Amino acid sequence: MNASTPMDDDNLAKLARTLARRDDLEIGFSPDGPVVRGKLLLLPDTLDPTTQNDTVKGYLDLLVARHCHCDSDALDKTAAGARGIARALDDRRACALLLDAYPGAEALLRSYREHRQELVLGGWQKLSWREQFAWRVERALWNEQATAVEDTPSLGTALHVMEDILREGRASVSTEQSVRLAMRTLERIAALSAGDINNMMFIVDHESASEPEYDASSEESTPAHSSAAPLDDSSPDSQGDAIAPERNASPIERPTRSVPLTTEFDRVTDLTGMGDPTAWRKLRTLARAQTGPLKARLERALKADEQTHWQREQERGELDRPSLVRLATSPGYRTPFRAARARPGRDAAVTLLIDRSGSMAGRKIELARLCATALCDALEQLGFACEVLGYSSIEDADMRAYYERWLSSGHTPPEGFNRFVERLDLQVFKRFDSANLSGLARIACGHENPDGEALTWAAERLLARRARRRILMVLSDGYPATGEGHPALLRSDLRERVREVLARKVELIGIGILDDAVEELYPVCSVVKELQQLPAAAFEVLGQTLLGHREWMLEHI
């Protein structure tokens, strides 16, 4: 049959049976495809056999190769951090075996690879570092050239130190060997983390992404991407700011600030009052149901605290009943009044700053949106000024072009910079000067999270607000990260900015969402270990801060 002849499901099934030399295979289409489930080969349901005939057949060849030559169960049981790499290794091995038997499949597999490249690059910025690295491993195994978008220094460095493993991977003879090689990748990263190889520090987590970290002592260090997962701080090299000098080397000056190449392309979007009214009302109803009782208790506590502060012996004001006896017995007595003191407890401005990184996607960002609604709605009702902000960074084509021009003019990275092609994507969901909270319904995820730069931005806005007290609460699910930033430098940058903000009399609170990174970054913090507790936990720690002590519920309820 001609390779370009369109095929229906029955013909695809017949082709699969012929290639696999089995008469019991079935073909289906699913959002989960391409995947092998026993005798069922599932193609991606986005493929159209009438217009993507060669691509469909290329995916079918891949599935047949997996069915005949891969142990899918063993791959599924592989640790999450290694599974993508193990799959890439085993797919290439299986397809090589298929090509040995059917050389004509090469053109169809090439069509599959072209389609896969289109899908991956179309959503490149949404991929985690782990997924990007697994894709680059695929590229290397198939001898494909990476595009400029994929060719980041951190991925290139990681591939370079894995060259021997990739060579063994091309010669793998079983799924078991592919899995072992993938696990060796993690072990190699662990060795790098310990400083045993090339004096580079790496993040290692056998259940999550792993990537290189910055070493300030290496002149050949290259920018590296960081995931939201925390460093393994048990490593001696990851203590403090995690910027360790080379062993037996003379001390050198360690950078502490993350400096962007340019801020020209950074963008602030004001979404105040621009949310859908219906969505906002539903969100507010849910928020009040969660934190309504907490808001009522905080209000009672505030009133109780305020009512204990009176200026007695005043010539004007409210009649002070205990002074009536003296008024009756002392004809010259002229100060039987009392006046309430100014209420400094409510002369406070509160900013909520939300991490909008890709790792916040799903339930995390939903509850962050609910949390922001609960806090902001309650603060407005209680008479506090409040603002809600969000931050992320995203790769920008104009900034990349600027970076390429910068390189072509003779500069060599890093030269003190730590953000090259990503612009800040800052959003204002509710301004201090607006009572319209509907913009909170538009809180959504972005890409990376440059916490330090965002903290400074939020603090400057807060300091511009006249208030006796200024409180800045940060909701985050991990350490700062940008696509090409050094993780250790991003952390030291955040710590330095925290110290600066505190020195300017801003009270900082960190709320950690399923992550305890805030405990080493912010002076006051709370770690939420169950997502549904987020709104209540954030409300409680803010209430404690507003009242100036941590046991406010026990004392005032």
Q: Which amino acid is at 480?
A: P
Give the other-Cβ count within 10 Å of 212's Cβ: 28
Query: With the CA atoms of 306, 310, 316 and 321 taken in that order, what torsion angle do they form, in degrees rounded to the nearest 10?
Result: 110
The pLDDT assigned to 13 comes to 87
Task: Tell me: pLDDT of 253 over 50.
Answer: no
In which band, very low, low, confident or very high, does the pLDDT at 305 lie, cut at 50, 70 and 90?
low
Closest by alpha carbon to 263, among 397, 422, 390?
422
What's the CA gap between 237 and 246, in Å, rounded?
10
- Locate 148 and state its tokens: 């400029």
Task: Tell me: pLDDT of 556 over 70.
Answer: no
Task: Tell me: pLDDT of 37 over 70.
Answer: yes
Q: Which of 197-201, 261-265, 364-368 has the lowest mean pLDDT?
A: 197-201
Instruction: List all residues 6 or more positions away from 369 whose beta carbon is below 8 Å from its beta carbon.
Output: 283, 440, 441, 443
The pLDDT assigned to 69 comes to 93
Q: What is the mean pLDDT of residues 260-275?
A: 94
The pLDDT assigned to 345 comes to 54
Q: What does the mean pLDDT of the chain come to?
A: 80
Q: What is the pLDDT of residues 15-29, one digit of tens each?
A: 889 998 888 888 888
Pairing between β-strand 35-37 and β-strand 40-44 as defined by DSSP bridges? antiparallel
Q: What is the pLDDT of residues 88-115, one digit of tens each?
A: 999 999 999 999 889 889 999 999 999 9
What's the CA gap between 372 and 551, in Å, rounded?
23
Task: Tell me: pLDDT of 209 over 60.
Answer: no
Pairing between β-strand 422-430 and β-strand 267-270 as defined by DSSP bridges? parallel
What's the CA gap between 486 and 262, in Å, rounded?
17
The pLDDT assigned to 413 comes to 62
Q: What is the pLDDT of residues 453-495, one digit of tens each?
A: 999 999 999 999 999 889 999 999 989 988 878 888 899 999 9
Exposed e or buried b per residue across 472-487, where buried means at least 16 C-beta atoms within 10 angstroms of its C-beta? bbbbbbbbbbbbbbbb
Give percent above pLDDT 90 in the chain.
36
Q: What is the pLDDT of residues 403-450, one digit of tens each?
A: 899 888 887 665 678 888 999 999 999 999 999 999 999 999 999 999
